[in-house]
Structure 1
Amino acid sequence: MQRLFFSLKFSAGQQQQLLPYQQQALKLCPDAKAVASDNLHLTLFFLGQTDNEQQQRLISAAGQIKLAPFSITLDTLSCFNKPKILYLAPSETPEALLQLQQQMAECCHAAGFSDMHDKYRPHITLARQAGCSEHYQQRVMPLTLEVSEFALYQSVFGVNYHGRFASIMMAG
């Protein structure tokens, strides 16, 4: 059994573009623990414990999702109190991202997985163990990223992400 999730796939260059936002976030809460740059991602659907058979079915189902590449503009730093994280998010969620997440959720629900969250709130976790108010919100210089892939990742010990099992290109 492996702990898996689907996420937008950012290139190494895009992950590097996120680092100044992470530094800005860490100034707000210097005791927070920065997320490693190669672990910066935007989750589409968290699966939890998954066996090999489920994994193969999910990869096959996800490969049937057909959406055009899109862009996302990240422009808001904020916090979740539980878990204690600082994150970067869009002030307006692109319709294409909502469609992708909805199709991903349908695939996962059909495979027997339930959504653990009440409402999808797209964000990129920049730092953990952040002791800041959940009401904190700051607009930052917008960063627009082009999205053309999503992938299935393994979560190891809750904070390291690796072992991409499948990368799915979006239809051009």
Structure 2
Amino acid sequence: MNDESREPFKRLFFALGCAPAQRKAIAQWRGALQLRSGRPVPVENFHLTLKFLGSVAVGQIADICTAVASVRTPGARLTVALDRLDVWRRAGVLVLAPEQAPPALLRLVYDLEQALLPFGLEDAPREFRPHLTLARDYRAPVPESTSPPEFFLRADRFTLFESHKGRYRALADWPLGVA
């Protein structure tokens, strides 16, 4: 066994964080749905994934951060409307998603993907579908809501997160606007 195969790995993803007040509002709205299926995502884990990297060798993280620092950003804060409740049956998740993804968000994700290509972190590219996961292992129809989802995720930075034992920890972040 060579040294490289013993190198530790971290489970990583890039995301837009969700402000505490926004997390609280979404959690209260989710509570009113009275879900009878699935496992609710912990409120502190609410985010909008930009790019899931999976298991990454610890030794690659600094190089990934350097590559991502050159990503062209929108030049201003991003606002994403989370105005549609949906069930993704194949993934078994209940999500809040935008009816229409903002072009600046799609450009950011594309540029992020391009910056990460040299690292060969993905076997088969996945179509980007912006969303905030409300519940996992969800096996029921879209729940009825007394009020439609009308949330606006506002982000002034994007973050590299580590997922470890159900908790997310920020490792690095980059401003979306001019510093």
Normalised-by-shorter TM-score class: 0.7 to 0.9
Distance 1:124 1:17, change over 3 A: same
Given candidates 9, 12, 28, the residue that maps to 1:4 is: 12
Q: Distance in 1 between matches of 2:149 and 2:58?
A: 42
Name 1:13's counterpart in structure 2: 21
Shift of 1:17: 2.5
The one-letter amino acid of 2:71's match is I
**Aligned partners of 1:58 and 1:108 also within 8 Å:** yes
- In structure 1, the residue matched to 2:93 is 85
Q: 1:116 to 1:150 in 2, by over 3 A?
A: farther
Does 2:112 correspond to 1:104? Answer: yes
Normalised by the size of structure 2, how large is the TM-score?
Answer: 0.83
Q: Show CA shifts across 1:82-104 (max 9, x none).
A: 22110000000000110111111
- In our comparison, the structure showing a higher alpha carbon Rg is 2
After TM superposition, give the deviation of residue 170 of structure 1 in Å.
1.3
Identity of aligned residues (%): 26
Contact 2:13-2:51 at 8 Å conserved across structures? yes
**TM-score, normalised on structure 1?**
0.86
Q: Deviations over 1:120-143 (max 9, x none)?
A: 11110001111124xx48792421
Structural RMSD (CA): 2.1
* Paired letter, 1:127: A
* Matching residue's letter, 2:99: S
Q: Which runs of 4+ in 1 moved over 3 A?
A: 115-118, 136-139
Query: Following the alignment from structure 2 to structure 1, what is the Cα–Cα distance between the partners of residues 164 and 24?
Result: 22
Residue 133 of structure 2 corresponds to 125
SS at match of 2:36: coil
Unaligned runs of 5+ in 2: 1-8
Choose from 81, 102, 110 the match for 1:73.
81
Task: Count residues with an aligned counterpart.
Answer: 166
Gaps of 5+ in 1: none
Cα separation, partners in 2 of 1:138 and 1:71, compared to 1, 3 Å:
farther
